[in-house]
Amino acid sequence: MCNLLGKRIAFICLLSATTPSLHAQEWVSVTGRENLTDLVSGTTAEIELQDGQTAVGYYAPDGTARIEAWGEVFPRTWRVQGEDQVCYTSAEEQTNCFTFEQDRTEPGLYRVRNVGTGEVTRFQVSGERLAGSQGGAPAGLIRPSAGEIAAELSNPNTAMGTMNFNLDYIAYDGDLPGAGSQDATRLLFQPSLPYPLSETTNLFMRPAIPIIVKQDVPSRLGEYDKVTGELGDIGFDLALGKSLPGGIVLLGGLTGTLPTATDDRIGLDQYLLGPEVAVGMVRPWGVVGALITQQWDVAGENDYDTNITGGQYFYAVNLGGGWQINGSPTFSYNHEARNHDNRLTFPLAVGVSRTLILGGRPWKFGAQYWHYVESPDDFGPDYQIRFSVSPVVALPW
């Protein structure tokens, strides 16, 4: 039995049964608490994920561990269970246990079996960087699982970069004649590329770019214009996020809107600016929190005042396997609306999402339903259906 203390492990081809070998292999189980402890304790293991991205696992002798992947750190603990298993537990309290075997004819070659799934993988002791695919290491051992990534993507202070595409269908209602027959379809693109300042602090600059596929806009009494294929006003925020002990997350900064709409009927023609603040609670079961923004007009062509309090509440419940029940609807209160009944817009929301690892890259797919319990009486949204796709991307810094 070779002691791997302080060595680097490189994982190779998935499913050893389908991997050709140059010699007749004789697999011998690695058993005994001392042998298994020596196998894991103090090792560093590395696997290539996708597009030059790597996941690196560090396993300390004290039973703590961490996996670094996609710009984020996924904590672990590990322990020897019985005489023949090593178990790894993630922050979301998911445990994967593995058995190990050593090739008697090539002592540096091992294979590992996930006790729960039966997934088999080979690995070898090597000082070289792995040149393979993410499939070569089972989830939970070297690379984060889909469930861990799903949970981390719900963290408002995550350091993971994403390209977020939201397709919204909105049905309208109101007291204006014909309001209940109008609708809209919009595509919102919002990239998030946080700049990590420390292990607990990130700087966010997130533009929100709306593409108006189709929008019904009231014109004269009982008549509506159809706006298609236009750019809306671009929103943005610049904020600092901080993770505190106990799972508390705080975020604060500036939010604003730019008069970029290519059609005056769907834009404010004003520059808006104001503060934003968010608080969240991250737990192994999921996330809950709220974001509050305030914007005033600071420049622009229109001479009317704009004073809008907005925000978003969000929640996610981890179901395992990358599945979540979640919701993240936006709300607003227009202080300058002449009719009080037209000021508040507030939906209730429920949805489901699934995070998958496709070609080595995490993708989050989701659908939500928003029902507006408060909406402008004259003309406002009745319900909204959102489909979202969010691929994880490497940070450029």
* The pLDDT of residue 23: 53
Task: Choose the final residue of a domain: 78, 111, 143.
Answer: 143
Task: Choose the final residue of a domain: 96, 113, 143.
Answer: 143
Length of the chain, in residues: 397
Helix residue spans in 82-167 (DSSP H): 146-153
* The pLDDT of residue 121: 80
Domain holding 182: CATH number?
2.40.160.40
Structure tokens at 189: 């693109």
Q: What is the pLDDT along the chain (397 residues), one digit of tens a residue?
A: 333 334 556 554 433 333 444 456 689 999 999 999 988 888 888 877 776 788 888 899 999 999 999 999 999 999 999 999 999 998 877 888 999 998 888 877 888 899 988 888 877 655 433 333 344 556 667 788 899 999 999 999 999 999 999 999 999 999 999 999 999 999 999 999 999 999 999 999 999 999 999 999 999 888 999 999 999 999 999 999 999 999 999 999 999 999 999 999 999 999 999 999 999 999 999 999 999 999 999 998 888 899 999 999 999 999 989 999 999 999 999 999 988 999 999 999 999 999 999 988 999 999 999 999 999 999 999 999 999 999 999 998 8
In what helix (H) or strand (E) does residue 39 lie, and over which residues does it extend? helix 33-40
Q: Alpha-carbon distance 298 to 276, whole Å?
A: 16
Q: Are residues 137 and 163 in the same domain?
A: no
Structure tokens at 343: 């000021």
Q: Are residues 153 and 128 in the same domain?
A: no
Task: Choose the final residue of a domain: 94, 123, 143.
Answer: 143
DSSP reduced 3-state for 253: strand
Domain holding 51: CATH number?
2.40.128.640
Q: Are residues 51 and 154 in the same domain?
A: no
Backbone angles phi, psi at 316, to 5 degrees: -150, 135
Q: Alpha-carbon distance 200 to 178, whole Å?
A: 51
* The pLDDT of residue 119: 85
Evaluate whether 53 touches 144 at the Cβ level (below 8 Å): no
1, part of any domain: no
Q: Are residues 130 and 228 in the same domain?
A: no
Number of domains, the chain? 2
Q: Alpha-carbon distance 184 to 389, whole Å?
A: 19
DSSP reduced 3-state for 237: strand
Considering only CA atoms, which of 57, 56, 62, 59 is closest in space to residue 40? Answer: 59
Q: Are residues 372 and 226 in the same domain?
A: yes
Please, what's the largest Cα pairwise distance for the chain?
86
Q: Is 83 exposed, middle or buried (0-12, 13-18, 19+ CB in 10 A)?
A: exposed
3, part of any domain: no
Q: Are residues 58 and 79 in the same domain?
A: yes
Say whether pTM exceeds 0.85.
yes
2, part of any domain: no
* Strand bridging mode 72-81 / 8-14: unpaired
> Which amino acid is residue 18, in one-letter code?
T
101, part of any domain: yes
Q: Alpha-carbon distance 104 to 301, whole Å?
A: 79
346, part of any domain: yes
Q: For residue 72, what are the domain limits?
A: 8-143
Q: Alpha-carbon distance 147 to 356, whole Å?
A: 9
Q: Are residues 133 and 181 in the same domain?
A: no
| DSSP states along 181-222 | G-EEEEEEEEEE--EESSSSEEEEEEEEEEEEEEEEEE-STT
Q: Are residues 290 and 335 in the same domain?
A: yes
Q: Are residues 315 and 352 in the same domain?
A: yes
Q: Are residues 22 and 119 in the same domain?
A: yes
Q: Are residues 51 and 126 in the same domain?
A: yes
Residue listed under structure tokens 């302080």: 6
Residue listed under structure tokens 């984020």: 72
Evaluate whether 274 touches 297 at the Cβ level (below 8 Å): no
Q: Are residues 274 and 304 in the same domain?
A: yes
